[in-house]
A and B are shown apart, each in its own frame.
Chain A
């Protein structure tokens, strides 16, 4: 697998990142992108937050893997259900019933460190390697945040250290084989175009590499789109002398470009006179000043983000870095996720010149 085709070739994509950097959003968008590419996809969350459900316009996701978008199913892994399933698989069904009856699951999963994680990781592994009719071609995992992700993914091994024989050992080996295989598994880090998140993402990248996990790239969320490009270089001059814009405004909107402050002096009021017949008012110099000031602020932000994303890319040594734009209404529902999914299909995480399968 080259780094470029994470979305098209990986069997399991693990999405992690610092809290608040868009982990669930990216996991949902990646899953939807996988579905758009024609791959039968499962997106799973493991922290009991129901963070994915609203992104697909659902109230909750269950353990029964409901369909949430075209060719995408969703799963909120439930430790209790996983434990029952797990014990059942290894012929311990009576124990599973007893645990449910005695409400001992929470105690057991809390008490044996990592045992809860073993069950969660085990369930994700099962979904990613499931044979037959219910098999998935792609499983996207909305994983715990970076601070916890390595112990989480390595939980089967940690517990297996103590359990040198038996089914736990056996399963741990097979989970590790999947997670360590860069042909089948890709770990992606989410990030924001801000200083501390970039630093922390690079720290997390080092941790993941040290743990031998196949880091495959990063997704930077909430990037300010650069809509001015080279025209931005004119802003400084325009701030000093907005005459060219005043002229353009006068031509399109009417008015003289003169100042007409409101009686309380707080801001310009559109003039009722000299406007074109459609009733629009002119833009006065102080309004132009507002527009130019905002554009300069925005451009400073754009430049700062470019610099930080460059820093991130350099630190990731050639791994692909995808960018997702800041959406005005936030990434709050299926429409926004679809927009972001399409961006991902045009990003370095997907193969170029794809054959898209339309919904």
Chain B
């Protein structure tokens, strides 16, 4: 082997070593966004996370992209502040899906392809009424329930009702087969658990036989061991009556009496919804920001989904700060600048701000990494802090461009300038 060939072999070895080091250091170079697969193939996408993390705009951006990819898509939002309405430039959404109008938004029959985008906002009370309508034996039972004051409060104020009704509506839309993809923006509950537990909790309430015993002493309770229980509950009821006056109990008792026979339908339906959420064609997208609280909730939710064997699709971290690298400036030089003329002091200030941004970006990456270490394997999409709030279709498309971009060189820098 002559010297030339030797050098070449060395260079080759170096190149290989470099490439290996490169692969090792950058395992995720330009891998596809985990949302791409979801937007093409999923039937149901559920965006969840704590409030104020950009859940609604993320859901809307995913839905818009799916429609543009030729899928019949509907986005379902529950947020009472009507954020999606603003994001989609709509003033009012009904309790049924309506087409989203806007420049470049695909719609049924526009000749541009099969894709379309509908949006709806959940009216909790109306959805609950519809459910009662579906299960009521007859007009009389329906009227008795709808007129009950306890029901009226239950259907509009009880924690968990929102979540349950969202699932109810999701199931109804799914069964209608009108859409290829349903994107759900979950209620702004701070406690991630609420969403999964709400159906159970509501069922527990509606099926609270013990409670019915307690509040309905006038009804026949039966014999045997129930007799003892009946004595105890009668005593309790007397006390509860003394505590609250009788009307509250009368209303509650009336409600449960009117509700008789509807529990099983409710329960069965909730079970079917729960099964639907577990299907492989469903994808949960956990949304967060790099703040400690939002990431804690995201981690909690990811682990809870895994424990319930729910299909975890991706983690989206919105509003990530990033700093571009500059050469290091030693402290002594910073001091010289800070003690200099106006230009030098301005430069010192800019450097200090840069270092603060670097520290913030690094702290965020550390928090994200420590979350990823605590949750099951999940694809991450980081969205850098955008210059403007997302409140129109153009904003949704800008957000979409970030959501569906390939995952760059270093996960630490969403723009790939790591």
A residues contacting B by CB (< 8 A) are 18-21, 24, 47-49, 51, 87, 90, 92, 94-95, 98, 102, 104, 107-108, 110-114, 145, 147-148, 151, 158-159, 162-169, 192, 194-197, 199-200, 203, 227-228, 231, 234, 244-245, 247-249, 251-253, 267-270, 276, 278-284, 287-288, 290-295, 297-298, 300, 328-330, 332
Contacts and interface: CB of A to CB of B under 8 A. Distances in A.
B236 A95 contact: yes
A164 B201 contact: no
Interface stretch (B3-11, B45-53, B101-109, B369-377): B45-53
A107 B81 contact: no
Interface of B: 50-53, 80-81, 83, 86, 149-150, 153-154, 157-160, 188-191, 201, 204-205, 208, 210-211, 214, 232, 236, 239-240, 242-245, 247-248, 251-252, 289, 291-294, 323-330, 332-333, 336-337, 340-341, 343-344, 346-347, 349-354, 356-357, 359-360, 363, 367, 387, 389, 391
A297 B354 CA distance: 11
A162 B387 contact: no
A200 B251 CA distance: 35
Given A110-B204, A168-B243, A328-B359, A287 B327 contact: yes
16 contacts: A18-B81, A19-B51, A20-B51, A51-B190, A145-B190, A148-B159, A192-B52, A199-B81, A199-B86, A203-B81, A247-B343, A248-B341, A248-B343, A268-B326, A278-B332, A283-B329
Contacts, number: 212
A110 B207 CA distance: 12
A294 B343 contact: no
B347 A248 contact: yes
Which 6 residue pairs of A and B lie closest in terms of their CB atoms, listed nearest first?
A19-B51, A20-B52, A270-B327, A162-B248, A113-B153, A248-B344
A291 B351 contact: yes
A18 B51 contact: yes
A107 B208 CA distance: 7
B158 to A, nearest CB: 5
B236 A98 contact: yes
B188 A329 contact: no
Contacts of B337: 248-249, 252
Contacts of A104: 210-211, 214
A112 B248 contact: yes
A296 to B, nearest CB: 10
A228 B252 CA distance: 62
Contacts of B336: 251-253
A110 B340 contact: no
Given A107-B208, A107-B211, A245-B343, A281 B245 contact: no
B81 A166 contact: no
Contacts of B391: 195-196
Given A112-B252, A267-B326, 18 more contacts: A18-B51, A18-B52, A20-B53, A24-B293, A47-B190, A94-B239, A98-B236, A104-B211, A107-B204, A110-B160, A110-B204, A111-B208, A163-B243, A163-B245, A166-B242, A166-B243, A227-B353, A252-B337
Contacts of A167: 243
A132 B365 CA distance: 50
Interface of B is mostly: helix
A92 to B, nearest CB: 5
Given A166-B245, A298-B353, A245 B252 contact: no
A163 B248 contact: yes
A206 to B, nearest CB: 12
A319 B332 CA distance: 46
Contacts of A247: 343
B291 A113 contact: no
A148 B236 CA distance: 31
A251 B340 contact: yes
Nearest to B205: A110
B347 A249 contact: yes
Contacts of B210: 102, 104, 107
Contacts of A162: 149, 244-245, 247-248, 251
B327 to A, nearest CB: 4
Contacts of A252: 333, 336-337, 340, 344, 347
